Amino acid sequence: MKVLLTGASGLLGSHILEQGLKLGHQFKVISRSVSKRSFLFLNLDKVHLYSLDLSDLSSLPDDLLDGVDCIINCAALASVKAEDQSKMRAINLEAPKNLFEMATKEDIPYWVQVSSVSTLCSGVDDNIVDEKDIGNFRKTPYANLKYEFDCWIKKQNSSVRVFTPHPCYMLGRWDSRPSSGSILFAIKMRRFKTLLNAKKNFVAASDVARGIWQGIDSRVIGDYILGNENMSISSFYQLCCEKLNIDFSTFSFIDRQQFKQANFSENEKSFIEEFCVASSVSSNKAKQDFAYYPLTSVDQLLEETLDYFMDFKMLRVKK
Q: Where are the domains of the chain?
A: 2-174+201-229+280-295
Q: So what's the pLDDT on residue 82?
A: 64
Give the span between the Cα atoms of 288 and 277, in whole angstroms.
Answer: 28
**Per-residue pLDDT, 305:** 98
pLDDT at 137: 75
Tell me what pLDDT residue 319 has.
Answer: 63
Rg (CA), the chain: 19
pLDDT, block means (10 residues), the chain with 319 residues? 95 97 97 91 96 81 94 87 80 92 95 94 77 84 92 95 97 95 95 94 98 98 98 97 96 92 87 89 98 98 97 86
> Can you give the pLDDT at residue 309?
97
Q: Residue 124 has what pLDDT?
A: 66
Architecture of the domain made up of 2-174+201-229+280-295: 3-Layer(aba) Sandwich (3.40)
Position 286 scores a pLDDT of: 98
Cα(191)–Cα(210) distance, integer angstroms: 33
Q: How far apart are alpha carbons 192 and 269 in whole angstroms? A: 10
The four Cα atoms 13, 152, 168, 87 give a dihedral, to 10 degrees, of 60
Strands across the sheet containing 199-204: 169-171, 199-204, 229-232
